[in-house]
A and B are shown apart, each in its own frame.
Chain A
Amino acid sequence: MVGQELFSGFALPLPLAILLAGGLLSPIFGSLSDRMRFSSFKGAWMVLISGGALVSVYLLYLQVKASAEEILLMGVWGQTPPTAGCFEIDMLSVFMAGSISVLGLLVSVYSISYMAKESRLTEFYTLMAFMMAGMMGIVMAGDMFTLFVFWELMGLSSYVLVAFQKRTWGPIEAGFKYLVMSATAGAFLLLSMSIMYGMTGTLNFAALSASLKGAPVTPWTIFLLSCLIIGFGVKSAIVPLHTWLPDAHPEAPSPISALLSGAVIETGLYAMVRVLFLVFEPGFFSWPVAILAIITMSLGNIMALLQTDLKRLLAYSSIAQVGYMLIGVSTGLSYGLLGTFLHIFNHSIMKGVAFLAAGNIVHMAGTRDINEMRGVGRMMPITTFAIIVAFLGLGGVPGTSGFISKFILFNASLGAGNPILAVVGVLNSTLSMAYYLRVIMALLDGKAAEGMKVKEAPLMMAGVSLVMSILIIALGLYPNPVMGISADASEALITGLANYIGAVLR
């Protein structure tokens, strides 16, 4: 008996309910705090709801762990799931929800201080809450319809957040590019939903998997695979579809860059992995995904070498990291997926701290150009420590958490009999250190630092970066807690699939 909770009314998972209700109440509290001239209350409210989301994800984890087969089923409209929308929560959903809410909490603490001088803060925090709610809904969705609704909620709030600082031309141009590409991808996602419906007559994940997995290859399944890769690939920035990312991520405000790079593209990747593994046999998509992985990491790293803008460099490095994550997907083994999900968690912390520390430098030094920030690092010790740790982690230096997940990924590709992926991955890691070290050298340039007047970032901003960089080192030296949960998460996708289907279709 699976832990099935079908309420007669309207039931939502607790983290999602907190984020949606918090987002809806946020304009009311915002206008109240305008009346009382107490503007930091808006940020405090956002910290409160994202903290509540983190706690309730932990409660959900305990609940899922306690249920018989580690799956929790929630019907939305009180109907039995195959016919109505539902939330189906397994260890993978809990893992992704945890990764999103950890980053969300840290980013919302950071943005109190970073956004203090901006206007329209009420809109900012409301959109941020809805973006997190969208991601939370995607990772917990149990059918394509629910996934699509939350997908568009996440997309819609992120378009507005990218174009948030509309006084200058950059964010508007980046936002429009992002909107057109993502909306086109949304149309292809809807098309792939209609094809899946036409093949099976249902949109529920479990029912889809039961009738499509192992089906013979026809032109329609190939068309379906390409529609799914286009639909999910634009959000997760797989290379031929990545062109919006290096514009949109740097032009957004720094906390939003961290959230976009650390959580949104991973949520896109999660949705792709979930649907691909449910609908197809791993052997069917492993070659296309392997080719995409090689192109994605090579092009991301080569383009990052050419950048002079710090945030743009980090955006290209995100594309390269998505390439590493695709290695694990293409192996089709649960060991490879362990590497993918561990790397998703580590990347969300590492790229989060890299963008937040870059935000500190942009905030205090007022420039994004690497050549103009020579020697700034000598003036800002905490920020520089955080950014160096993040860069070493992203490059995969032993002792940081990035090393462990990359090691597992390359090891898995050797185990799956695909050594070329491991070779290209190791070469790319070496290449990526070239541009990380270039930034570190520019920051620590002693000659340029003489007579410079740049102060350390405010306590809250520097503190968040420091906490996250310590987390990187701690998880690099003692990875067992996260490793255990992500091992459970990857098992849920391969060996737990029968339970996942059985929870709905009994």
Chain B
Amino acid sequence: MYPLTPFLTATGLMLIIGLTCLMVKRDMVRILIGVEILFNAANLFFVALSTQTTGFIDPLPQSVVMMAIVLDGTVIAVGLAMVVNVYRHYGTIDIRRLRRLKW
């Protein structure tokens, strides 16, 4: 059984980094990287918790995390495809230019 505190700290830091990345960055690809960091924070926490059972490591979180990695990979792929289309229409991937839809 590993101590949980380092994992908790790392998860908290990754949540803060990911949310900051979503709020501060202008580049659309970096925003998608921020989403990926948030997903990985949750994945890390899940795997860390799986070691807390005595005697064995629970396989359930491992399988959930494998599936979650696949799912967020596909979400990011769709997001990147949208970034390509945004570049075709606007000629830039600066998120602050995407403000034609208001209210």
Question: Secondary structure of the A side of the interface?
Answer: helix
Decide: A180 near B85, CB < 8 A? Known: A149-B67, A169-B100, A303-B103. Answer: no
**Chain B interface residue count, Cβ-Cβ cutoff 8 angstroms:** 42
A147-176 Cβ-contact flags toward B at 8 Å (1 or 0): 011001001100110010010111011111
A308 to chain B, nearest CB (A): 10
B9-45 Cβ-contact flags toward A at 8 Å (1 or 0): 0000001001000100000100110010011011101
Closest to A246 in B: B103
- Contact A176–B75 (Cβ < 8 Å): no
Residues of A within 8 A of B49 (CB): 194, 197-198
**Bound CA–CA A178/B38 (angstroms):** 17
- Contact A306–B79 (Cβ < 8 Å): no
Residues of B within 8 A of A156 (CB): 71, 74-75, 78
- Contact of B64 (CB < 8 Å), options: A160, A173, A203: A203
Decide: A191 near B61, CB < 8 A? Known: A152-B71, A172-B86, A172-B89. Answer: no
- Contact B79–A183 (Cβ < 8 Å): yes
- Contact B41–A191 (Cβ < 8 Å): yes
Decide: A83 near B60, CB < 8 A? Known: A159-B78, A179-B78, A183-B72. Answer: yes
**Bound CA–CA A160/B46 (angstroms):** 29
**Does A184 belong to the interface (CB within 8 Å)?**
yes
Considering residues B46, B71, B100, which has the most beta carbons from chain A within 10 angstroms of its beta carbon?
B71
**Bound CA–CA A183/B43 (angstroms):** 14
Question: Secondary structure of the B side of the interface?
Answer: helix
Decide: A197 near B83, CB < 8 A? Known: A173-B101, A187-B38. Answer: no
**Bound CA–CA A187/B39 (angstroms):** 5
**Does A247 belong to the interface (CB within 8 Å)?**
yes
**Chain A interface residue count, Cβ-Cβ cutoff 8 angstroms:** 43
Closest to B40 in A: A187
Closest to A309 in B: B103
- Contact B67–A145 (Cβ < 8 Å): yes
**Bound CA–CA A195/B11 (angstroms):** 12
Residues of B within 8 A of A81 (CB): none
- Contact B39–A186 (Cβ < 8 Å): yes
Closest to B82 in A: A176
**Does B53 belong to the interface (CB within 8 Å)?**
yes
